[in-house]
Amino acid sequence: MPNDTREIHVVSRPEDQYMRFLAPALILAAALLPSAASAQETGATPDDAADGWVRIVPEPVTINGRLYSPTCSNAPGTDPTFSYFYHKGTADGLAVFFNGGGACWNDATCSKPRLAGDKAMFSGKDDEEAQSVYKAELLPGDGPARMTGIFDRTNRRNPVRDWSMLFVPYCTGDVHSGSNTANYRFPDTGKPFTIEHRGWDNMQVIMHWMRANVPAPAHLLVSGSSAGAYGAATHYTALHELYPNANAVFLGDSGQGVTTPEFETARNKSWNYQLPASVFGPDAQSTPDTEVVARLAAFFPRDRFAQFTTIHDRTQTAFYAQMTQSQECDAWTKKMTSELTARQSAPNFRSYVAQGDTHTILRSPLFYTEASGGIAFVDWLGELLNAPIPANATCPDCLSAQSTCSQ
């Protein structure tokens, strides 16, 4: 595959003028085809976009009379520039992936952004110096060209290796689901600052572009890792409506919805959390996190829904401890297994629970090596996408295995 690199700046216009600019849109669509342009010519870098990936830097767009301005968090000291990536495949499938990177919802958490060059984020293990809890800007190399797993287009075991892909980066602290400018204060100084929780808004701009540039696929995978798993659930309905005839699958990687009512109240206030009323009703924000995927599965009975997690996921455990201030080592695991069991009653929902405490699988080499559920995860996903729906997969001794989290 040629190592083509393109970067495109999309200037969007109001929908009522859209037809007047159809020709430029067609030119843009043609630009997504492989070409001989180099990184030097376009301003992109191999870390940003390579192996056929196109990095798109969107401009503000008016949709249904509302102006949407794509942005990262704009936390103090950050670059607010937002972009996303697209790769045109050869098979009749489309994978939409939401990247992860923590979250913030109050003074204490939003005052701990991860900036470019910072140490890895807080994960609950071996990270005493890593104080940041959310990505506040796009990080160098934090794009699909540096990732493996479902993004490895050379591995024949990858069931989506030939599909088109839309990669949504994350830099707003709101699990891709906010539509608000929130005011906070640094706990140590009392100095005020603002965060642009605009993950939901950013996706409106991306889908506006997709309508004009991404053909309807026969198969659709909506997925995300960590915070991105929540974003995939938030935007699943809109993506289903965008491509209503596709055979659609949802896969949430390491985002089990184990939270607290207090967190959900704070999140709603800080983020103006967005869920579609068509599925969740007029008071959609009141939907508990643990019920979101179950309600989607009930609303779309012909689609397939699935979740992956390790039994003692250290990052999910650490964030739950932040919410509860609990010292109970296995509090997250106990709540997760109870809530997951309830979701498993749906005929179109499946889960893969692996041993250990690692966090996420879709972007890592574990995608090809994890098999503690009695079947290789990559093969299980292949069945989820293409075959009769697979059984739930759980490592045999998971519930009896001791957690490695500290007491």
Positive or negative torsion for Cα 129, 134, 136, 141: positive
CA–CA dist 228, 134 (Å, integer)? 12
Q: How would you classify the pairing of strands 93-98 and 84-87?
A: unpaired
pTM: 0.88
pLDDT under 70: residue ranges of the chain: 1-50, 119-130, 327-328, 399-407
Summarize pLDDT for 187-233 with one digit per residue, the tens. Answer: 999 999 999 999 999 999 999 999 999 999 999 999 999 999 999 99
Residue 402: the pLDDT is: 58
Nearest C-alpha neighbor of 55 from the set 23, 10, 99 = 10
Q: Give the C-alpha separation, 16 to 136, whole Å.
A: 34
Task: Judge residue 80's burial from the number of C-beta atoms within 10 Å of its C-beta, 0-12 exposed, 13-18 middle, 19 or more buried.
Answer: middle
- What distance in Å separates the CA atoms of residue 352 and residue 332, rounded to the nearest whole number? 17
Q: Of all residues in the chain, what percent carry a pLDDT higher than 70? A: 82
For strands 6-10 and 54-58, give the pairing.
Answer: parallel
List the beta strands (DSSP E) in 158-197: 164-168, 180-185, 192-197
Q: Provide the pLDDT for residue 140.
A: 84
User: CA-CA distance, 9 to 43, in Å (whole number)?
Assistant: 11
State residue 132's pLDDT score. 87
- Residue 357 has what pLDDT? 94
Alpha-carbon span 373 to 389, nearest angstrom: 16
CA–CA gap between residue 33 and residue 4 (Å, rounded): 10
C-alpha pair distances (Å), 240 with each of 190, 225, 234, 254, 362:
44, 19, 11, 22, 21
Rg (Cα) of the chain, in Å, rounded?
Answer: 20
